Amino acid sequence: MRLVKLLANLGYGSRKEMQLAIRNGWVTDRDGNRLKPDSKTAHEDVLFDDEPLDPAQGVVLLLNKPVGYTCSTKDHGRLVYDLLPDRFRTRKPALSSIGRLDKETSGLLLFTDDGTFLHKVISPKSNVPKVYELALDRPLKGDEAALFASGEMMLESEDRPLKPAQLEVLDDTTARLTLHEGRYHQVRRMFAATGNHVAQLRRSRIGALGLEGLAEGEWKALSDNEKAKIFA
Ligand code: URA
């Protein structure tokens, strides 16, 4: 791909702006040689303003989402995209979140520009477990784990029972729940159906991938090994 198009697709600016950036000498190889608009230098050898380029198409990002951010590109208030560099909003192909977390849920959120990868993660066939840590307003009654594991639990206004989910009780009001699907507000609705209320909710794992030491609000691009952990 021509350098101008590559940079524009990564969201660094319009093609016109990228032509100017190249003419101004802001785009070089690792030896500091200025590159030309039609240069075919390999992605990993191009520097923009002395910095390596953002990951190429096929990227998967991991974000530790704080509470208070909405998974949307154009809602009111704070958006998860505000936590990523601005240019990521104009990448082509576009970055989308893989599934969503509620505004009041924190933790592990993935983004990708690779539609095939996105579908593989959310496909029922992949059966990827998602692990949530939660705190409840009221003590657990003791029968929740059996209900959630039954494969027969119905949520209001749905016509299919939930897949079996595993509840690990940590103490009276805290627990870890593993789901193998992702229905709307699923964790909150499951506990609401038992007469309880989820006060805090954090997703800690998808497959065998955890937050990998990321602080809240931080993100990183996943390596191939880390991507593979999702399906491990
Ligand atoms: N279940 C919920 O209720 N909310 C989330 O954000 C994720 C799972």
Q: Whose CA is nearest to atom 4 of ligand 1?
A: 185
Residue type, 218: E
Edge to edge, the sheet with strand 27-29 lists: 27-29, 46-48, 51-52
pLDDT tens for each residue of 165-188: 999 999 999 999 999 999 999 999
Ligand 1 within 6 A of CB of 178: no
Check if 187 has its Cβ closer than 6 Å to any atom of ligand 1: yes
- Least Cα distance to 63 among 38, 96, 94 occurs for 96
How many A from CA of 102 to the centre of ligand 1? 6
Task: Tell how strand 51-52 and strand 27-29 pair up.
Answer: unpaired
pLDDT higher than threshold 80 for residue 224? yes
> Model pTM?
0.95
CB 110 within 8 A of CB 126: no
Distance 226 CA to ligand 1 centre (A): 23
CB neighbour burial string for 111-146, b if at least 16 within 10 angstroms, e if fewer? bbbbeebbeebeeeeeebebbbbbebeeebeeebbe
Domains of the chain: 3-52 (3.10.290), 60-124+215-221 (3.30.70.580), 130-206 (3.30.70.1560)
Residue 183, ligand 1, Cβ within 6 A: no
Which one of the listed residues 49, 102, 171, 172 is annotated catalytic?
Answer: 102
Partner residues linked to 198 by β-bridges: 136
pLDDT digits (tens, 9 = 90+) for 123-157: 999 999 999 999 999 999 999 999 999 999 999 99
Rounded Cα distance between 214 and 211, Å, is: 6
Q: 214: CA distance to ligand 1 center in Å? A: 20
CB 11 within 8 A of CB 87: yes
